[in-house]
Structure 1
Amino acid sequence: MKILRNLLILLFSLSLATPGFSFLHSKGAKIVDSNGNEVFLKGLGLGGWLVPEGYMLHIPGYGSPSAIRRKIQALIGTEAAEEFFSRYRANYVNRKDIEKIASWGFNSIRLPFNYRLLSPEDQPGVFLESGFQLLDRVVQWCKENHLYLILDMHCAPGGQNKDNISDSDGKEARLWTDPANQDRTVEIWTKIAERYADEEWIGGYDLLNEPVLPAGFPNTRLRAFYMRLSQAIRKVDPNHLLFIEGNWYATDFRDLTPPFDTNMAYSFHKYWKPVTQESIQSYLKIRNNYRVPLWLGESGENSNPWFHETVSLMEKNDIGWCWWTYKKVASITSPYSAPLKPAYQRILKYWQGQAP
């Protein structure tokens, strides 16, 4: 129980203690409201909350959500681990965090989620009301604070890439090699769209975070799956904007044009590369050729000068942006940084093999 207490110290440090709307849609190359007024998205991603990542928490090893869960289960047992993660979700982000983001002048939030939040692994057709109720709460907090909420499937069944960020097994992006995983992804997005079809404070659906197709798979496979997803969603939800990310971590849009839905935007990600007009020229060409909006759905993890230059470049080119990420532990690259408490440091040293 002492170990659990030390883990809970992390939770308390993560908790931030501080005291006529319409659907967004695409109109030509802009994102607008129902009156045709352009909405320039300026947002923060809530990474690390519903999709814990090892580097954000300083946890060594393959830092996927499932790997982190197994580490904690091995440390304190399954029952205590469930208590930990319940408190983790309650503390990492709450209403006060959303209020703080709004007070800083942002107008949108991108919410990464793991499909397991909404549907148990290996149980097609089964859905978790507790997960949907959590999303409901976030929608309500955003509504109270006039923030658009963009739902981001960060971890699709099987993994849309083979990295820890998609909660894959680290060997293969099985979303693309197992048709059953594609069926489940369609099933889950359809359920989401059914539930939130009339929710105006949801700014859109980010269908897949940073897909990476296996070697030998052409981008046409990605396009075909996006088309299948969009068609399924449109049967139950004609309202919401669809954000479409390119292959290779949202950078490669070959064969994803022309647009295949009348209410969509292309979302690219940008990390570490030079901040030049040339670096985004291929995306601007898509916008100019097809009159479809662009959105920088994820960027960050760099220096303050790089941040400033990137935002300036986006705003110069009329591209909305969303920063990654709002909160981490002991970091200078996020707006909010939770302290690394001594008790939690002891656990980290144990995991690193530096303590008994």
Structure 2
Amino acid sequence: MAPPAPKACLRVEGTAIVDADGKPVILKGAATGGHTNMENFITGYPGHESEMRKAMLEVLGREKYDHFFNKFLEYFFTPSDADFFASLGLNCVRVPLNYRHFLDDLNPEKGINPAGFKLLDGIIDSCSAAGLYTIIDMHTFPGGQNQGWHSDSGIHKALFWDFKVFQDAMTDLWVEIARRYKGNTWVAGYNPMNEPADPDHVNLQSWYKRVEKAIREVDPDHILFLDGNTYAMDFSGFDEVLPNCVYAIHDYASFGFPAGERYKGTDEQKRQLRKVYERKVEFMKEKGVPIWNGEFGPVYSSPEDPDHEAINQERYNLLGEQLSIYKADKISWSIWLYKDIGFQGMVHASPDSPYIKLLKPFLEKKKRLGVDKWGRDDTHVRHIYEPVIQHFKDSIPPEFINRRYPQVWKIEGHIHRVIRETLMSEILCWEYASYFKDRSLEELDELAASFKLENCVRREGLNEILRKDAAES
């Protein structure tokens, strides 16, 4: 039997999120990344979702393409997944969306596609029935709100900030989302933009003010969860606090990735974790507003990797230390991520599943080439790119070499973004799609069903940490 709906929408009161009775609510959960916004490292394809889908349509034809992706969307998150969430004591699901479920880039006159709302309704209803809040997260934008693969722009620039027509379209979409879920008290709020990266540091503020005003005209009650600039890490350009808004960081730790120093739990490493966190939340503490950590979490080593058990235990320890920081500050959080093919998720497709068995040679190749940015180990190919990087450094004066935003990437990151993560990945999409050639409807159904919860493996070490933290709330 479904629990009764909360009496009113959650709201902001000082530094807390509170319920209808004014009781503080700390939201704890995970994101369903890879589902309604697909990402390369989550489900195994290279590059960007829209490019992968084009290649799949070319290989499968319309009927089989629609069948596979409809089944994938159906199986990836079901009432069983929501019940599993709730069994861990978690209370909130962040739902990342690709705007293309709602808008047609080539036919904007069609308006909003109702299929997008049907899909989102199903997720929210499943979560509500399990007593879970949801946060609606717009993860992609026309032209790209950031330079990353997860904005599904297919390029290395964030063009959303340069075109008013893009900004108009997404403001209008948010108005319709708010209109639909107005009064739904299981919806904790709206995350209008995932990981903005505005090079000028002023356009983001303008759009936040615009979309906040537009949403409030149809839905005055729901909280807005506003990410900081530069991938939810920088609030230096923020000049004011908007009403009933929670401000959001993403707090990934370098210790949780192959390129970073291994986490040993030293006092210095713990100080570094706290220092980085405090820098990110300085704006919120200064203004006295709630903090939401919308993404964090390490990636995990595979059984075929050297020393994988020790590495994964170190990363569990890292996660525990991060949670202790958030607990001390009484902030809400959403870990990245719920379900994938075995890299970061709380559950993952089984190595014996039809999907993983089919794609195993390609997944091994993709890992060896290091084409995915997220958590890659590029040991095998680093020597190929180092001469290119050095050529740039030799050719461009030092005062200009790292001028390109985001500067934190340095020239190395921008080169990899163009060569590996964009060009090579785009071309590899056809190879990925070729694995699905001549598959029957029944076989495509079996491949999609690899992501059903009952067919997945649970990462118990991770889930036990989350369960314990939820129980201590």
Query: If the TM-score is normalised by the length of the shorter chain, which range does it land in?
Result: 0.7 to 0.9
Aligned to 1:73: 57
SS in 2 for 1:277: helix
Of 286, 297, 301, 1:300 maps to 297
Work out whether residues 110 and 150 of structure 1, in 8 Å CA contact, stay in contact via their aligned partners in 2: yes
Matched, 1:232 2:214: yes
Work out whether residues 47 and 112 of structure 1, in 8 Å CA contact, stay in contact via their aligned partners in 2: yes
Equivalent residues in 2 for 1:224-303, closer than 5 Å: 224-259=206-241, 261-273=242-254, 276-302=273-299, 303=315
Distance of aligned partners of 1:304 and 1:112 in 2 relative to their CA distance in 1, 3 Å threshold: same
Aligned to 1:103: 87
Of 178, 181, 200, 2:185 maps to 200
Q: Deviations over 1:244-299 (max 9, x none)?
A: 1111100011122320x210010000112465322222344323321210100011
Equivalent residues in 2 for 1:1-356, closer than 5 Å: 20-60=6-46, 62=47, 64-124=48-108, 126-214=111-199, 217=200, 219-259=201-241, 261-273=242-254, 276-302=273-299, 303-331=315-343, 333-340=344-351, 341-345=356-360, 351=431
SS in 1 for 2:207: helix
Q: Deviations over 1:70-120 (max 9, x none)?
A: 232233233321211111101111111111111111000100001111222
Distance (Å, rounded) in 2 between the aligned partners of 1:171 and 1:339: 33
Distance (Å, rounded) in 1 between the aligned partners of 2:239 and 2:21: 28
Deviation at 1:183, TM superposition (A): 0.4
Q: Deviations over 1:204-250 (max 9, x none)?
A: 10010001124xx2x22210110001000011000100011111100
Work out whether residues 223 and 244 of structure 2, in 8 Å CA contact, stay in contact via their aligned partners in 1: yes
Aligned to 1:14: none
More deviation in 158-167 or 36-45?
A: 158-167
Gaps of 5+ in 2: 1-5, 255-268, 300-314, 366-429, 438-473
Higher normalized strand content (fraction of residues) = 1
Letter in 2 for 1:83: H
Q: Of the two, which has the highest radius of gyration?
A: 2
Letter in 2 for 1:68: M
More deviation in 345-354 or 47-56?
A: 345-354
Work out whether residues 283 and 294 of structure 1, in 8 Å CA contact, stay in contact via their aligned partners in 2: no
Aligned to 2:440: none
Deviation at 1:352, TM superposition (A): 6.8
Work out whether residues 51 and 154 of structure 2, in 8 Å CA contact, stay in contact via their aligned partners in 1: no
Distance (Å, rounded) in 1 between the aligned partners of 2:121 and 2:298: 29
Letter in 1 for 2:136: L
Letter in 2 for 1:36: G
Deviation at 1:182, TM superposition (A): 0.3
Distance of aligned partners of 1:271 and 1:47 in 2 relative to their CA distance in 1, 3 Å threshold: same
Letter in 1 for 2:335: W
Letter in 2 for 1:166: S
Aligned-residue sequence identity (percent) comes to 32
Q: Deviations over 1:121-178 (max 9, x none)?
A: 2433501111101111112112111111000000112210122100112132121111
SS in 1 for 2:45: coil
Distance (Å, rounded) in 2 between the aligned partners of 1:41 and 1:199: 17
Letter in 1 for 2:326: M
Given the two structures, how large is their TM-score scaled by the length of structure 1? 0.87
Distance (Å, rounded) in 2 between the aligned partners of 1:144 and 1:150: 15
Distance (Å, rounded) in 1 between the aligned partners of 2:146 and 2:188: 25
SS in 2 for 1:80: helix
Deviation at 1:330, TM superposition (A): 2.8
Distance (Å, rounded) in 2 between the aligned partners of 1:162 and 1:282: 23
Gaps of 5+ in 1: 1-19
Work out whether residues 162 and 169 of structure 1, in 8 Å CA contact, stay in contact via their aligned partners in 2: no
Work out whether residues 54 and 68 of structure 1, in 8 Å CA contact, stay in contact via their aligned partners in 2: no
SS in 1 for 2:135: strand
Deviation at 1:21, TM superposition (A): 3.3
